[in-house]
Structure 1
Amino acid sequence: MAGGLSRFARLLVRRVVLLFALLAAVFVAVELLPGSGARAVLGREASDAEVAAKERELGLDRPVAVRFVSWLSGVLTGDFGSTARGRPIGSLLAGAFPQTLLLGGLALLLTVAGSLLLGAWWALRPGSTAGRVLQPGSSVAAALPEFVLAVLLVAVFSLLLGWLPAVTVSGRSGFPVRADMLVLPVLALAVPQLGWNVRVVRAALADAAREPHVETAVLDGLPERVVLLRHMLPFALPTVVAGFATSVGMLLGGALVVEAVFNYPGVGALLAGSVADRDAALVAAVVALTAVSVLAMLAVADAVRAWAVRGRA
């Protein structure tokens, strides 16, 4: 037990160090972009003297390493700082990140439920019509980029059939005013991850089916549902959970692109504006919040895998 906790702690420390390195890389990458954050705020008509004064006001005249350490020390105390335009970053994230979490969370639920059902069906009946359809269909779905799928969904279900809205309209709460406005963005996010995870679930269950205890359960005449839930799924769970945890990062990253296609009110718009303004603090804040969400899901996945492995031991 102590050894397991020690391994978990070391893994968590490595991921936190990696997060800090990623945030530092974000600051450097924004610094290397052409143009000036001060000029982006003031406009092209601003004089060089005005730009220089604005850079001093924003602290952009300091070395990038100094600015990063200053920003990071504020984040560790709960202060994300302000944007180049003087707006508090914490308030901007609080207003936009819940919408992105809603979009990503619904897509994750659809991915988990769909891949478990379809993957289990495929593993139990590989020669069925559904299995023959899933073989190429899952590969095509996994290979589709989110923005391509989003455009196809809009073309078919909005422009051609007129069933679903192509854009999102936000209410006073910041969330979409109608639930059907979530359907196409969620599908655009979930389908590629669903295609990939169906194959993961099917492969993990197929491996589990070759285990001696599963073969014994089948020979004993246990019902198929009992064999699947009690003997195959617990053995396959570590691999399946690892696939779902990986999808969390892909879903949150893909959400930034999908939000732009559907005019969805999430952090995608914040990120696009921050890059245009060369605002390293806002870009890093978005990355940090997204990365922490992914780290939390990876920690949950690690705990589930450890529980499953102990249960098999």
Structure 2
Amino acid sequence: MAALTPKVVAPAATAAGAGAATGPLRGTHPAVRIAGTLGQRVLMLVVLLAVVFSAIELLPGDAASASAERGESTADLAERRHLLGLDRPVWERFISWMTALPTGDLGTSARGQKVTELLADPLPNTLVLALSAFVITVVLSLLLGCWAAARPGRLTDRTISHATTAAFAVPEFVVSALLLALSLWTGWLPAVTVTGGDGRPATWTMLIMPVLALVIPQTGWNTRVVRGALADQASSPHVEAAHLDGLPLRRILMSHQLPGAVPAIATGIATSTGLLFSGAVVVETLFNYPGIGTVLAGAVAARDTPLIAGVVICAGAVVSLVLLAADLIRHATPGVRA
């Protein structure tokens, strides 16, 4: 466990991630660096989509056989494969899907419905879930990280360090299962989500358990990032000078350490966005939440490649925008060079 202390791992991990993203563009104009970073994000997303198409192709069965009804003949399956385009090479289907993407066409699912229509309701639900968890995670991480940094080496610092390490070490499905059991035992909050006529949770209280299941692990990680970034800044010359001048510790923390730690903190928080979306797949399934996680689970079972790719591109676009925002913060922070 000692190897996971925030003072060592968190700053190093975030700095490495930031450097890897923009290292080759160092020394160029900020606009060029940002454009280059955006190009890298887009390229990575295209590669990810190619991997998705290839991975689904390697799974046993296909969308035609997964949606087949009892008693269908081989000829019927062959006809369905032709209608779904499954008799074409996977690379050809991928290029066809990608060329239609700029027009907003995400293809047609194995059930014959437009992917955009299938995601019209679940995607906003997931965005509400992820955004709520993201905001709460940021606030808690900053509060806990600053609280621990204001008392370095003391009981508060050690307690927060151990607690957040344990929180991050527990997977989302374990946290979800514990919260689900707690909800069923106490009856204080809804254990499962019931949707209304508009396809959204019937009451806002049904968001609490799924949000907590995402917040707890991510707060553990990001608190370590905040604490580690502030610890790095504590040894900076201007911070040491502030101590020699006799400034209050709180003022040193907020006015001298925190501004310099913003780039590392922004990068760590932005990175956790992807983990929020990946965790949402498990959390939404366990709590019966009507989001893209539930759609994705069903799409994988049905070998529905266009629907899976649609979920991936939507989630990837959101994560890429958050990462781009983190890059902009790093470039805009005085004294910081990417």
The answer as to whether partners of 2:331 and 2:337 remain within 8 angstroms in 1 is no
> Which residues of 2 match residues 1-313 of structure 1 at below 5 A?
3-156=29-182, 158-310=183-335
Superposition TM-score, scaled by structure 2 size: 0.88
Q: Taking every aligned residue pair, what percent have the same amino acid on both sides?
A: 50
Look up the equivalent residue of 1:284 and give its one-letter code. A
Inter-partner Cα distance in structure 2 for 1:311 and 1:65: 43
Counterpart AA for 1:172:
G
Distance 1:23 1:84 in 2: 18
Amino acid at match of 2:240: E
In 1, the alpha carbon distance for the partners of 2:171 and 2:29 equals 41
State the Cα deviation string for residues 103-130 of structure 1 (Å, max 9, x = none).
1111111110001000001011134432
**Of 167-176 and 21-30, the range deviating more from structure 2:** 167-176
Contact 1:146/1:188 (8 A) holds in 2? yes
Shift of 1:227: 1.8
Point out the more displaced range, 265-274 or 254-263.
265-274
For residue 21 of structure 2, what is the aligned residue in structure 1? Answer: none
Q: Distance in 2 between matches of 1:34 and 1:169?
A: 34
Distance 2:337 2:273 in 1: 26
Cα distance, 1:45 vs structure 2: 2.4
Cα distance in 1 between the residues matched to 2:247 and 2:240: 10
Note if contact 2:330-2:337 (Cα within 8 Å) is conserved in structure 1: no
* Contact 1:143/1:192 (8 A) holds in 2: yes
**What's the C-alpha RMSD, in Å, of the aligned pairs?**
1.7
Asked if the contact 1:238/1:309 (under 8 Å) is kept, the reply is no
Give the structure-1-normalised TM-score.
Answer: 0.95
Residue identity opposite 1:146 in structure 2? E
What's the offset of the Cα at 1:131? 1.9
The 1:276/1:311 distance shift into structure 2, 3 A limit, reads closer
Residue 5 of structure 2: aligned partner: none
Give 2:162's aligned amino acid: P
Structure 2: 5+ residue stretches without partners: 1-26
| Range that drifts further, 41-50 or 181-190 | 41-50
The one-letter code matched in structure 2 to 1:46 is: E
What are structure 1's unaligned runs of at least 5 residues?
none
2-structure distance, mates of 1:6, 1:274: 39
Amino acid across the alignment from 1:124:
A
SS at match of 1:60: coil
Amino acid corresponding to residue 273 of structure 2 in structure 1? V
Q: Which amino acid in 1 is paired with 2:332?
A: W
Letter in 1 for 2:258: L
- The size of the alignment, in residue pairs, is 312
Q: Deviations along 1:153-200, whole A, 9 cap, x unmatched?
A: 1112x1222211110111122221112111111111111111111111
